[in-house]
Structure 1
Amino acid sequence: MKLIGSLTSPYVRKVRVVLAEKKLDCPLVLEDVWSADTSIARSNPLGKVPCLVLEGGEALYDSRVIVEYLDTLSPVGRLIPVPGRERAQVKTWEALADGAMDAGVLARLEATWPGRAEGERSPAWVERQLGKARAALATMERGLQHGQPWLCGAHLSLADIAAGCAVAWLEFRLPEHAWRDGHPHLDALMQRLMQRPGFAETRPPQ
């Protein structure tokens, strides 16, 4: 089994953190999906990472599918509860975090993609996407305001991993927006997460 991805993708980082938490060995094969000679379409016709290639050659994508599969491979550190309300809560937090990343990526592409001339960029579109990211972070902050260490109670779950990857990516790619300001509980969550090897070792290169 191998993971195709990049060192800066927050979606790839989510998978890598899950691999570390589950203590699963899986080599990372670096791929630049923006390169003219990228080969990612051989494994994922959508041309996106992460993509998990299984031993028989079958490929899994996107990150939500991959982490759910990985959580079944080892009993160590269960990250997604069994079907029921708790599972739905964890998956909803993951969807919120992924949505914040989606919005941040769209905002950054609109502002920086070299395929678009300066006069073709839409500040209103950028602001709309950043508004979604801000709303997601505010929701995460409220979810932590009652003093519990993790989003879904006393134990780390996929909810925290997804949220941490989202916040870290927004801080990495859009530092001018100071995401930690006004989010003390979310900041504390990030500090807890960075004490875990899976997060510390997957920090994107500066």
Structure 2
Amino acid sequence: MKLLGSLTSPFVRKVRVVLAEKKLDYRLETVDVWGDRATIALVNPLGKVPCLVLDDGSALVDSRVIVEYLDTLSPVGRLIPSLGRERAEVRSWEAMADGVLDAAVLARMEYAFSGRTELQRSPAWVERQLGKVWAGLDAMSLGLGEKTYFAGNGIHISLADIAVGCCLAWLRFRFPELDWAGRYPQLAQLLDRLEARPSFAATQPQG
């Protein structure tokens, strides 16, 4: 398998962590979706990463689709429960983490996108998106509570923790001024536990 992605994307990192946790072999091909859109568009018309190219040349897009597929390839370290409420819980926390990232990316791009002039940038839009970030962090902090991990009895790592961990690490990487760790110490402790794992240690955002 070949994974098209970047070293900064938290969505790509989520896939890379899952690949490592599942002990699956793959090749990472870094792609600049801004400067080399034509390359990624050959396999994903949306021009977005991550994109997983399978052995037969077909491609899977969207991190949530990709990680669900990867979890079926090996019984090692099952990350998504197969049935019932616990499965829905894990996927819901993944969606929450991804939603926080979507809002944070929109906030960052309002100022980082070179196609906008200063007069075109909207502080009100950034404030709205960061409001979503804080609301999502509130929910994640409440959901984790005093547990070690999110799902079930909180003993075993799941996709929920991986998604939340990638989200928190990216916020720390791109928005250090938010200091979410000071407000949510239990989330900071979760990230510390995750980043002690080889899968997280080997996929730190770069760039």
- Which range, TM-score by smaller chain? over 0.9
Residue by residue, what CA displacement relative to the aligned partner does 1:102-122 show, whole Å, maximum 9, x if unpaired?
Answer: 001000001221100000001
Counterpart residue number, 1:96: 96
Moved more, 174-183 or 92-101: 174-183
Matched residue of 1:3: which SS? Answer: strand
Q: What one-letter code is carried by the residue in structure 1 that aligns with 2:176?
A: P
Counterpart residue number, 2:3: 3
Matched residue of 1:181: which SS? Answer: helix
Q: In the TM superposition, what is the alpha-carbon distance from 1:72 to its structure 2 partner?
A: 0.2
Residue by residue, what CA displacement relative to the aligned partner does 1:32-88 show, whole Å, maximum 9, x if unpaired?
Answer: 000056410000000000000001111001000000000000000000001211000
1:150 corresponds to 2:149? yes
Q: What one-letter code is carried by the residue in structure 2 that aligns with 1:179?
A: W
Q: Distance in 1 between matches of 2:16 and 2:122?
A: 34
Structure 2: gaps of 5 or more residues: none
Counterpart residue number, 2:64: 64
Aligned length: 205
- Runs of 4 or more, structure 1, over 2 Å off, are none
Q: What one-letter code is carried by the residue in structure 2 that aligns with 1:151?
A: F
Matched residue of 2:52: which SS? Answer: strand
Counterpart residue number, 1:118: 118
Instruction: Give the aligned CA root-mean-square deviation in angstroms.
Output: 1.0
List aligned pairs for 1:1-206, cutoff 5 A. 1-36=1-36, 38-145=38-145, 147-152=146-151, 153-205=154-206
Structure 1: gaps of 5 or more residues: none
Matched residue of 1:186: which SS? Answer: helix
Asked whether the 8 Å contact 1:31–1:38 carries over to 2, the reply is no
Q: Distance in 2 between matches of 1:136 and 1:38?
A: 34
Matched residue of 1:47: which SS? Answer: coil
Moved more, 99-108 or 178-187: 178-187
- Quote the sequence identity (%): 64
Residue by residue, what CA displacement relative to the aligned partner does 1:161-193 show, whole Å, maximum 9, x if unpaired?
Answer: 000000111110111111212101101100100
Asked whether the 8 Å contact 1:32–1:38 carries over to 2, the reply is no
Asked whether the 8 Å contact 2:37–2:47 carries over to 1, the reply is no
- Structure 1 38/171 Cα, relative in aligned 2: closer, same or farther at 3 Å? farther
